[in-house]
A and B are shown apart, each in its own frame.
Chain A
Amino acid sequence: MLNEEQQMLRDMASEWVRDRLPVTALRSLYGHDGGGRPDAEGYDPEAWAEMSQMGWAGILVPEAHGGFDFGYRSMGLVLEELGRTLGASPLLSSALVAASALRLGGTEVQQARWLPGIADGSAIGTLAAEEGAQHGREKIALATTPSNDGWVLKGVKRPVQDGMIATFAVVAARTGGAPGDRDGITLFLVGRDAPGLSREALDQIDARRPALFTFDNVAVGGDAVLGEVGKGADLLDMLFDRAAIGLAAEMLGNAAQAFDTTLDYLKTRVQFGAIIGSFQTLQHRAAEMFGELQLARSAVEAALDAIDANDPALPAIASLAKATMGETLHGISAQMVQLHGGIGMTHEHDAGLYLKRARVAAQCYGSTAWHRERWARLNGY
């Protein structure tokens, strides 16, 4: 249940997003051939500055560090509104994922060092954990060798969300054990200027430009360790669960808008001398999509509430939200193209932008299949 402040936040976000980051803003990040523009950064720095000024980057930062401590449900409201127009920003990577990392695992010193920057938008954090085509939390291989006062990192990370614009990253590396082991994973805070770290943009279908990080003997000190050495798997799970739920909130906005846009089209497009939305087969398809959207919304909102309530069942709830949302958005984005017909196939129309973002979001932080499998194991199937 939203309180008055949350309702105000939602209304404000809704208005601002439509005004400042409409779908045309995302479109400007694309080149004419439908790929990402090579000279674009995958976001709008001025819009990001405005978002930070409005306090959104500090929603999860404690007041002592310049934030508002306003909870995940509140963050979800903003992400959902951004999702409606496919608004590209580092809000999820930095203000949700990196802020969560520091809150859950950071020392006083680390929190004081990074959280104020996250809250005012001057620092952009991200999670550098994935290494390959498939999500695998235990499979982390990024190698380390101990040095006098810390470790030396060698290996690659991809895709790193918002990696080209991030000023620091939470890097998951292996300080013990072998890929596949939960033991031996350590998280490090690494600044973008660390010698030996190079970054390349990935031209992804959604024009967001995540990065490939190459660690060529990057030296980090003991003070860079987030949480406990070798015991990072639990913290990483907590981060991925929060990331998946935050992304699901954004996907909820994607799906809600894709559905609304499609519904508008059904009410205006005329063929065979009739508005096509009067045809029963299309009415029933719309009714079914509406029902699926109800299920997805409930799962996502329950998951946001579960983080705020410290629910011990969060892993299963997170997977329920991400998988349910993933399946729903998959279906609705595909129907958006189908029901728009030929115009939906053109780059000029928004349908393709929703379709592309939907598939990226479905993969990110664990795919629908990954989360369904995890839910199954957590529930004894």
Chain B
Amino acid sequence: MAEFDGMEAFREEARAWLKANFPPSLTNAPSIHFVSDRRAAESNPDWCLWRERMAEKRWGVPAWEQRYGGAGLTQAHGKIIGEELAAIGGFNPIRSYGTMMLGPTLLEYGSEEQKLEHLPWIATNKRRWCQGFSEPGAGSDLASLQTKCIDMGDHWLVSGQKIWTSGADQADWCFALVRTDTSRKQGGISFLLIDMKSEGIEARPIVLISGSTHFCEVFFNDVKVPKGNLVGEVNQGWTIAKRLLEFERNGLSDVKAEITPLAPLAHEYCGTDALGRIDNPDLRTRMVRNAMRHEAYLATVSRLTREARSGEPSNGVSALKNLWSGIIQERAELLIELMGAGGLGWSGEHYTDAEQEATRAWLHSKAFSIYGGSYEVQNNITAKRTLELPA
């Protein structure tokens, strides 16, 4: 593809620098894991080295201004860095909830003081953030949140409980939605930055069926927060949160959904017949059907993306999530089924890493039809909004 001279030169520069600096041991590593699990990341010396190099180069957030820790480059430069990284099986070690969600939000709504205080730390991934949004009584209906935030004159006083807070036990700071006015629902919410070392905060990991302790409940017991930590105006939090959730969706859609075909594994675990087919006709048929649905799903994603870009109506989006969760969940079931007894291990040397991962992934996948609007809620939405069926 023809590029402007400068861009072509930059691509060469990026390619050379990344090749020289990306630790080969991290090639094709599960990078999303390093985003969600700080301990796993920081206990890996090569990951730490890679973070140092990228932080110094300022290429984790290439398009941010230099005074905020970025490289002051254009989005086009950033795209080239991303492409060249992907080409060598690399990833961005600076990528975090800070770069994906809070950073872009602060750039739009934060004061200059807040930006200078937080963005440089996000740009080096030395300060980890967690998102204090959901509460026990505010799941799908997020705006019904109750965590109190009272103006005490020289500080805010926060009391309440958050839940499903990713990585709260490993986070340095929390961006939270709090209630500053009980007389209005959306209009009584504010956006607050809270230091997790403050007195009165307790983060308790929740053990999920998959063994994951990634999600926490966080208790705020009369926590004092400086007045300068409120982002935007008082009671403007809902507007800011909606913008942040847009950044979140953009960030997540960047994640490559790499799906390796199950066929080679099935050959290994189930054997093959005289024609080279998986020697378990029933399982084979179900695997093939799932793989074909997955192909059709990917074709649907690209079709709807194209239609959305050209302004054609694409009302299929609301049904898409149920297709996705169903196909991925079924695949996870098929994977442990083809592994047989090997797919049932929890830990220990008698189960391979891949087997244990498959088991955990299968259990984890059960969440896909619950979070982000359950399967049933999605069907209600499709029926009422898209198909216009009566209430």
Does A8 make an interface contact (CB < 8 A)?
A: no
Which residues of the partner chain B approach A299 to less than 8 Å between Cβ atoms? 295-296, 299
Q: Is the CB of B390 within 8 A of A1?
A: no
A291 touches B382 (CB 8 A): yes
The CA of A188 and the CA of B72, in the complex, are separated in Å by: 68
- The residue on B at minimum CB distance from A275 is B390
Bound complex: CA A283 to CA B266 (Å): 37
How many positions in chain B have a CB within 8 Å of any CB in the partner chain?
Answer: 43
User: CA of A302 to CA of B299 in the docked complex: distance in angstroms?
Assistant: 7
Q: Which of A17-25, A88-96, A372-380 contacts B (4 or more CB under 8 A)?
A: A372-380
A291→B387 CA distance, assembly (Å): 11
B359 interface contact, C-beta 8 A: no
Interface of chain B residues 256 through 306 with chain A (CB within 8 A): 261, 263-264, 266-267, 277-278, 284-285, 287-289, 291-293, 295-297, 299-300, 302-304, 306
- How far in angstroms is the closest Cβ of chain B from A296? 7
Rounded to whole angstroms, the CA-CA distance of A319 and B296 in the bound complex is 11
- Cα separation A299 to B277 with both chains bound (whole Å): 25
**Residue B27 at the A interface, CB < 8 A?**
no
CA distance A296 to B380 in the complex (A): 22
Which of the residues B295, B383, B386 comes within 8 Å of A284, measured between beta carbons? B383
Q: Which residues of B contact A302 (CB under 8 A)?
A: 299, 303
B247 vs chain A, min Cβ distance (A): 27
A376 CA to B322 CA, complexed, in Å: 25
CB distance from B135 to the nearest CB of A (A): 27
Does A249 interact with chain B (Cβ within 8 Å)?
Answer: no
**A379 touches which one: B263, B297, B300, B322 (CB < 8 A)?**
B263
Say how far A91's CB is from chain B's closest CB, in angstroms. Answer: 25
Q: Which residues of B contact A296 (CB under 8 A)?
A: 296
User: Would you give the shortest CB distance from B391 to chain A, in whole angstroms?
Assistant: 6
Residue A263 lies at the interface, judged by CB distance under 8 Å to chain B: yes
**A29 contacts the other chain (Cβ, under 8 Å)?**
no
> Is the pair A287, B383 in contact by a Cβ cutoff of 8 Å?
yes
- CB contact list, B129-153 vs A, under 8 A: none
0 or 1 for each of A324-341: is its CB under 8 Å from B? (1 = yes): 100000000000000000
Min CB–CB distance B206 → chain A (angstroms): 30
- Check: B25 CB closer than 8 A to any chain A CB: no
Whether A381 lies near B295 (C-beta < 8 A) is no
The docked-state distance in angstroms from the alpha carbon of A381 to that of B261 is: 9
Q: Say yes or no: B380 contacts A372, CB within 8 Å.
A: no
In the complex, which of the residues B293, B376, B379 contacts A295, with contact meaning CB atoms closer than 8 Å?
B293
Give residues of chain A (352-381) contacting chain B, Cβ–Cβ below 8 Å: 372, 375-377, 379-381
Could you tell me if A324 and B292 are in contact, using CB atoms closer than 8 angstroms? Answer: yes
Q: A286-B387, A294-B316 are in contact. Are A381 and B284 (CB under 8 A)?
A: yes
Q: Quick check: is B310 within 8 A (CB to CB) of the other chain?
A: yes
Kindly state whether residue A288 has any CB partner on chain B within 8 Å: yes
Q: Assign chain A's interface to a size class.
A: 20 to 34
**B323 adjacent to A377 (CB under 8 Å):** no
Q: B304 contacts which chain A residues (CB < 8 A)?
A: 294
Contact A286 B383 (CB under 8 A): yes
Q: How far is the CB of B305 from chain A (nearest CB, A)?
A: 11
Contact in complex: A381, B379 (CB < 8 Å): no
- Specify which of B288, B306, B384 is in contact with A376 (CB 8 Å cutoff): B288
Q: Does chain A have a CB within 8 A of B35?
A: no
Q: CA separation between A263 and B306, bound complex, in Å?
A: 27
- Is A267's beta carbon under 8 Å from chain B? yes
Distance A194 CA – B289 CA, assembled complex (angstroms): 45
A295 touches B296 (CB 8 A): yes
Partner of A283, one of B284, B295, B319, B379: B379
B389 contact set on A, CB distance < 8 A: 263, 266-267, 277-278, 282-283, 286
Please, which residue of chain A has its CB at the minimum distance from the CB of B285?
A372
Q: Is the CB of B306 within 8 A of A277?
A: no
Contact assessment for A298 and B300 in the assembled complex, using a CB-CB cutoff below 8 Å? yes
Distance between A43 CB and nearest chain B CB, rounded to angstroms: 32
CA distance A295 to B295 in the complex (A): 9
Chain A residue nearest in CB terms to B384: A283
Cβ contact of A291, chosen from B278, B310, B319, cutoff 8 A: B319
CB <8 Å contact, B288 and A372: yes
> Residues of B contacting A297 with CB < 8 Å?
300, 303
B302 surroundings in chain A (CB, below 8 A): 298
Q: Which residues of A contact B299 (CB under 8 A)?
A: 295, 298-299, 301-302
Say yes or no for B171: interface residue by CB 8 A criterion: no
**B285 contacts across to A, CB distance below 8 A:** 372
Interchain CA distance A284-B297 in the complex, whole Å: 19
- Whether, in the assembled complex, A271 has its beta carbon less than 8 Å from a beta carbon of chain B, the answer is no
Q: For A1, what are the chain B residues with a Cβ–Cβ distance below 8 Å?
A: 306, 310
B295 in complex: contacting residue of A263, A320, A376, CB < 8 Å: A320
Interface string of A292-309 (1 = CB under 8 A from B): 001111110110000000
Question: What 9 A-B pairs have minimum CB-CB distances, sorted nearest first?
Answer: A283-B383, A298-B299, A287-B382, A298-B300, A291-B319, A295-B296, A287-B379, A277-B389, A376-B288
Identify 7 new A-B residue pairs, CB closer than 8 A, beyond the known A294-B320, A372-B285: A1-B310, A283-B380, A287-B387, A294-B300, A298-B300, A372-B289, A381-B284
25 contacts between A and B (CB under 8 A): A263-B387, A267-B390, A277-B390, A283-B383, A283-B387, A283-B389, A287-B378, A288-B379, A290-B387, A291-B322, A294-B300, A294-B319, A295-B293, A297-B303, A298-B302, A301-B299, A302-B303, A320-B292, A320-B296, A323-B292, A324-B293, A376-B288, A377-B277, A380-B261, A381-B288
Chain B residues with a Cβ under 8 A of chain A: 261, 263-264, 266-267, 277-278, 284-285, 287-289, 291-293, 295-297, 299-300, 302-304, 306, 310, 316, 319-320, 322-323, 376, 378-380, 382-384, 386-391
